[in-house]
Structure formats: C-alpha cells, structure tokens
A and B are shown apart, each in its own frame.
Chain A
C-alpha cells in the first residue's frame, strides 16, 4: 500500500473511531452545541483530508 493511501486509511479509521468514542464517553451529557459541533468538525476534517488527497492525484 502506498504511504499516501496508508495515511488516508488511518485518518479515516481514526476519525470514524472518534465519531463513536468521544460522544459516548466525554460528550454524552452535553448541554450545549458541543456534541453537534464536534461531529460537524469531524465531517469538515474528513472533507479537508479528501480535498488534500484528491488534489495530489493525476488528471486524465
């Protein structure tokens, strides 16, 4: 597996894992929009990762 793909896979798994673990441990009793913002932050992080990865790919 290329290093770039390994980084993408690792980041993907990490973000998915965080999307389960953090809400059910640290944020389950959230009384404001922290939990909502956390999940939104993870989606945005995924989007940025995807943009960076795709920008490095060849056209054609």
Chain B
C-alpha cells in the first residue's frame, strides 16, 4: 500500500491544482460563444503558445514516441521533426492570414470557417461529421491513456476506472467552468508539468544510466554499431512518407489546433505563439527521442531488460527511477492526454453549438453556450463509455485520424489563400472532401486501421494518394 501513496498524492495534487487554476482563471460575464470558445480573440501569446503545444503533444510522445525510437532508432526522430518543420513553416507563412480572416469574419469553429470560406452551411456540417468520425476515436484513446497510466501508477487494475472517471470529471470542470479561459490556463499548467517532467526524466536517466559523458559516448557507439543511429526497419521511403504526410498537414487539418490560431489578442501575441510553440516542440521532441535512444543503449548494455512491447518502454525505465520522479513523469503523461482530449472535445463542442445549433437550427446566441456545455457533457459521456468498454479497434482507429482528415488540407489551404473564391469552388470542395475521406475510410476498412496507413495504393503511400485525389478533384474548380 505504501508504494501507492506517492503516485496517488501526486495525482490528487495535479487534479486539485488544475481545478483551482481553472476556478481562479474563470471569467465573469461570458455571454457569447466567441468569448466562450476563442476568448473573444483576446488570449496572450504565452497562453496561446503553451495551449497550442499542450494540445498538439499527446500521450503519444512520452509513451508512443519513446517506444518507437527505442524500437526503430533515429528514424522516429526524423518522423517527428518533419511534422515540426512543416508546422513551423505553415504557421509562419499562413497563421496571420487565418488569424486576420477569423477576426474579420467572426469564425469560432473550424467547420464554420470552411462553411464561410466556401459559402455553404452544409459544407460546414460535412466537415463537422468528418471531425466527429475521425476525432472521437482519437479523443477516446487519450481517455483510455489516462486510465491506463493511472492503473500503471497504482499497479492495480481497479484504478483504470478511477483514472477514466477523474479524467472526465476534471475535463468537464476545466472546460465547462469558463470555456477557453479556464482551459487555456490549465493547458499552461499542464504544458509546464509536461516539459519539466520530461527534463527531470532525461537528467535522471543520463546520470543513472551513464554517469559520465565518456560512458554515454561509448554506449552510443554500441547503439550505432547495432544500427539504431541510421535508418533501419521499418523506415523504408514508402513507410516514412506514409507516416509523415498526414503530419505535415496536421496544422491545417486538425480543428483543435486550427482554432488556436484565432485566439491571440494581436499580431505580436500570434508571433509569440509561433515562436514559443516551436521552442517547446523542439525541446520536447529532442528529450523524448533521446529517452528512447538512451533506453535502447541501456538495454544493449544489459542494464535494463529488453522491452518487447514498445508502449512499455517508458514504464520499464521508470521502474528504476525514484518514486517521486516516476510519479511526476507518469502524471505528465496524464496531463498530455488530458490536454489533447479536452481540446478535441472543446472544438467538437464549438462545431455543434455554432454550426449545428446556431447554423442549421437557427438557435440564439444566448443559448448556444448552454448547448455547448451540454455537448461537452454528452461528448465526455460518449468518450467514457468507449473508454470503459475499451474496444480494441478504438486505439487503432485513432492512428488514422490524421489520414482521414487529410482531404481538408487542400480545401483549407485554398480557402486561406483565396478567401474571395467562395461559392465558385463550393462543388469542388464537396467533391474533394467526399472523395478523399471515402478513399481513406475504404482503405481503412479493407486493410484494417493499423495496416491502412502503410499499405501502398498502386505503389504509393496511401496518404499521398488521398492528398493527390482530393487536390486533383478541387483544382478544376479554382478558375477565377
């Protein structure tokens, strides 16, 4: 029982402080969905940046990416840096345009943005359905991640349900209390927790595992001889492209991050968001992949047993860490999952309140926040039902979320670059989204979600084919 005290106290501390922060940062007089969902376009640069980073980096980093690097070597770092490079350039070149358009046209939800750019409410509904189908499995996988991590910290299977319950209750309080104001401040708190835990983890791992730069250098020589510092299986060019293409366009296709672009209070805050996010992403990626490489070096030297299941690499390494550090890092994984899940639920709720309730049912603005809060509750209930049932295909489906959302990339890119194109390209946007999404869905059903991402279509990566098809369908409609 004694070994339960530190992890449980850390978890209680994490949830209590998060709830206090959400309470303190609440705003009175929130009357419009614009205030509730995008802070009335008045968020500071620092809050925007860390919220963007915490939303982007899910539990995949400290669990999945550590394991992927451990199993496949440096190629996993390349996969993650490709995402970061593309995102830095997309945000640098396009975020100001999207930020300005959001203000001029009053966008709150990303599906509303697409509807407005192409002049069709039904297109907004189609995009909302795509978001729901693609992101509910992804958000459910995050909640499952919270349950599994709490279970892992306690070593007791019964704690899985407690983890899911805590995740739902905290998410509900942090989101429903004051919308984005409480969510962004808890994101800041959790983002700091994530980066500080990662830093502490790698400092400990270096000193415990290697002790000196010489020992580190010699362990990495062994790692190099074993082929982990070059490109090894499964990193063939096709696999690498299959994995990276959906992530290159993540900043355009994933609504939970697109919505963050609307929020900074001025251009200066927007620029600060881009810069601080890049710094966060760079630091976090380097730490996480170095943990994976160090873990493999320690396994090769016999100091740590060989781990067969890649999701167990981080828990295995943490078994050797001091209990306080272990609890700190495990809680950072909970934080990473929570921030991603909350942001997805929040964005989906904005689509339901703005596009469905206000757009299609002509609901009143004053009641839309209530509808939004109710939809947060309903979405969290749905996620917890899925998390408690734990169907195996949910985690698999979450892997292909970005591939299914890929057809949105050309549609959003064209909309941002030529916002005046409007109705002229409306039919093209419909056809582009429907063809790309159907192709992705069909390929996932035929091959299974896990294989769909890497099974080539006509010798090409499936994500490349989806992107080519959806772009080719849209292009003929762009005559101006």
Kindly identify, within residues 5 to 43 of chain A, every residue whose CB is under 8 Å from any CB belonging to chain B: 5, 8-9, 11-12, 15-16, 19-20, 23-24, 27-36, 39-40, 42-43
List B contacts of A5 (CB < 8 A): 93
Decide if the interface of chain A is mainly helix, strand, loop or mixed.
helix
Cα(A8)–Cα(B94), bound, Å: 11
Are A30 and B230 closer than 8 Å at their CB atoms? yes
Among A9, A19, A33, A54, point to the contact of B274 (Cβ < 8 A).
A54
Q: How far is the CA of A19 from the CA of B231 in the complex (A)?
A: 13
Task: Given A12-B93, A16-B86, verify A30-B78 contact (CB < 8 Å).
Answer: no
Query: B96 contacts the other chain (Cβ, under 8 Å)?
Result: yes
**Beta-carbon contact of A46 and B229 below 8 Å:** no
- Closest B residue to A33 by beta carbon equals B229
Among B85, B229, B271, B286, point to the contact of A19 (Cβ < 8 A).
B85
Pair B85/A15 contact, Cβ less than 8 Å:
yes
A3 to B399, CA, bound (A): 39
The reply to whether A60 and B224 contact each other, CB–CB distance below 8 Å, is no
- The distance from the CB of A3 to the nearest CB of chain B, in whole angstroms, is 13
A27 to B293, CA, bound (A): 18
Residues on B with beta carbons closer than 8 Å to the beta carbon of A28: 230-231
Please indicate the chain A residues that have their CB under 8 angstroms from the CB of B224 in the complex. 30-32
B120 within 8 A of A: no
Which residues from chain A contact B286 at a C-beta distance below 8 Å? 40
Which of chain A's residues have a CB closer than 8 A to the CB of B85?
A: 12, 15-16, 19, 42-43, 46
Query: How many of chain B's residues have a CB under 8 angstroms from any CB in A?
Result: 39
> Which stretch from B11-19, B54-62, B275-283 is at the chain A interface?
B275-283
Give the docked Cα–Cα distance between A19 and B93 (Å).
Answer: 19
Give B13 Cβ to nearest chain A Cβ, in Å: 34
> A50 to B274, Cβ gap below 8 A?
yes
Is B408 interfacial (CB-CB < 8 Å)? no
Contact mask for chain B residues 55-85; partner A; CB cutoff 8 A; 1 contact, 0 none: 0000000000000000000110110011011
B240 in the interface, Cβ–Cβ < 8 Å?
yes
Which chain A positions have C-beta within 8 A of B390? none
CA distance A42 to B202 in the complex (A): 23
Chain A positions near chain B (C-beta within 8 angstroms): 5, 8-9, 11-12, 15-16, 19-20, 23-24, 27-36, 39-40, 42-44, 46-47, 49-51, 53-54, 57-60
Note all chain A residues with C-beta closer than 8 A to B78.
Answer: 19, 23, 35, 39
B311 within 8 A of A: no
Q: A19-B82, A39-B78, A54-B274 are in contact. List 20 more A-B contacts (CB 8 A).
A: A9-B89, A15-B89, A16-B248, A20-B82, A23-B78, A28-B230, A28-B231, A30-B224, A31-B225, A32-B229, A35-B231, A39-B77, A39-B81, A46-B84, A46-B89, A46-B278, A50-B88, A50-B91, A54-B271, A58-B267
Pull 10 A–B residue pairs with CB atoms less than 8 Å apart, ordered by A: A16-B89, A20-B240, A24-B240, A30-B229, A31-B230, A34-B229, A46-B88, A46-B278, A54-B271, A59-B266
In the assembled complex, the Cα of A33 lies from the Cα of B88 at a distance in Å of 24
A33 to B240, CA, bound (A): 19
Report B-chain residues with C-beta under 8 Å of the C-beta of A39: 74, 77-78, 81
A52 CB to nearest chain B CB (Å): 10
Contact of A9 among B93, B278, B293 (CB under 8 A): B93
Question: Is B220 an interface residue, CB under 8 A from the partner?
Answer: yes
Q: Does B92 contact A (CB under 8 A)?
A: yes
Partner of A24, one of B89, B237, B293: B237
B225 engages A49 (CB within 8 Å) = no
Is B89 a contact partner of A50 (Cβ separation < 8 A)?
yes
What B residues does A54 contact at CB under 8 A? Answer: 92, 271, 274-275
Highest count of chain A CB atoms <10 Å: which of B220, B241, B271, B285:
B271
Q: Do the beta carbons of A32 and B220 come within 8 Å of each other?
A: yes
Q: Are A42 and B81 in contact (CB under 8 A)?
A: yes
B268 touches A (CB below 8 Å): yes
Identify which of residues 261-317 in chain B touch chain A, using a CB-to-CB cut-off of 8 Å. Answer: 266-268, 271, 274-275, 278-279, 282, 285-286, 289, 293
State whether A47 touches B96 (Cβ < 8 A): no
Among residues of A, the one whose C-beta sits closest to the C-beta of B279 is A47
> Looking at A28, A29, A35, which has the most chain B CB atoms within 10 Å of its CB?
A35
How many angstroms between the C-alpha atoms of A54 and B78 in the bound complex? 25
